[in-house]
Structure 1
Amino acid sequence: MKNYFLISIIALAVFTACKPGHQKEAQRKAAMETDTIISIPPHTVNVYYFHGDKPCTTCQAVGNVAKETVMKYFADSMNVHFIDININRKPNRKLTRYYHVTNTSIVVAGREGYDNLTKEAFDYAVKKPDKLEIIIKETIMQREEYNR
Structure 2
Amino acid sequence: MKKLISTLSFILFMGIVAVSAQCCGGTTTANTSSCTKTTCSENQKSAEVKAYYFHASRRCATCQAVEAVSKEAIKEYYGDKVTFKSINREEATNKSLVEQYKISGTALLIINGDEMVNLTNDAFLNARNNPDKLKSKLKSTIDSMM
Structure 2 length-normalised TM: 0.67
CA distance in 2, matches of 1:85, 1:40: 21
Give the letter aligned to residue 88 of structure 1.
E
Which residue, out of 101, 105, 113, partners 2:115? 113
Which residue, out of 46, 65, 83, partners 2:85? 83
Q: Which residue of 2 aligns with 1:103?
A: 105
Unaligned runs of 5+ in 1: 1-35
Which residue, out of 69, 75, 80, partners 1:71? 75
Deviation at 1:102, TM superposition (A): 1.6
Q: Relative contact order, CA 8 A, sep 6+: which one is greater?
A: 2
Secondary structure at the aligned position of 2:94 is classed as helix
Deviations 1:51-76 (A, max 9, x none): 11121100000001110011100015
Give the letter aligned to residue 100 of structure 1.
K
Report runs of 4+ in structure 1 exceeding 6 Å deviation: none
- From the two aligned structures, give the one with the greater helix fraction: 1
Unaligned runs of 5+ in 2: 1-40
Larger radius of gyration: 1
Deviation at 1:95, TM superposition (A): 1.1
Matches within 5 A, 1:9-24: none
CA distance in 2, matches of 1:63, 1:56: 11
Q: Which residue of 2 aligns with 1:30?
A: none
Secondary structure at the aligned position of 1:135 is classed as helix
Q: CA RMSD in A?
A: 1.7
Give the letter aligned to residue 67 of structure 2.
G
CA distance in 1, matches of 2:83, 2:44: 11
Provide the identity percentage.
35
Which residue, out of 121, 132, 142, partners 1:130? 132
Deviation at 1:121, TM superposition (A): 0.6
How many pairs were matched up? 106
CA distance in 1, matches of 2:139, 2:109: 12
Contact 2:45 2:114 in 1 (8 A): no
Deviations 1:98-148 (A, max 9, x none): 2222222110001032011101111111111100000011111111xx2xx
Secondary structure at the aligned position of 1:59 is classed as helix
Give the letter aligned to residue 59 of structure 1.
C
Q: Which residue of 1 aligns with 2:13?
A: none
Q: Which residue of 2 aligns with 1:58?
A: 62
CA distance in 1, matches of 2:73, 2:45: 21
Q: Which segment is superposed worse, 67-76 or 41-50?
A: 41-50
Secondary structure at the aligned position of 2:111 is classed as strand
CA distance in 2, matches of 1:87, 1:123: 21
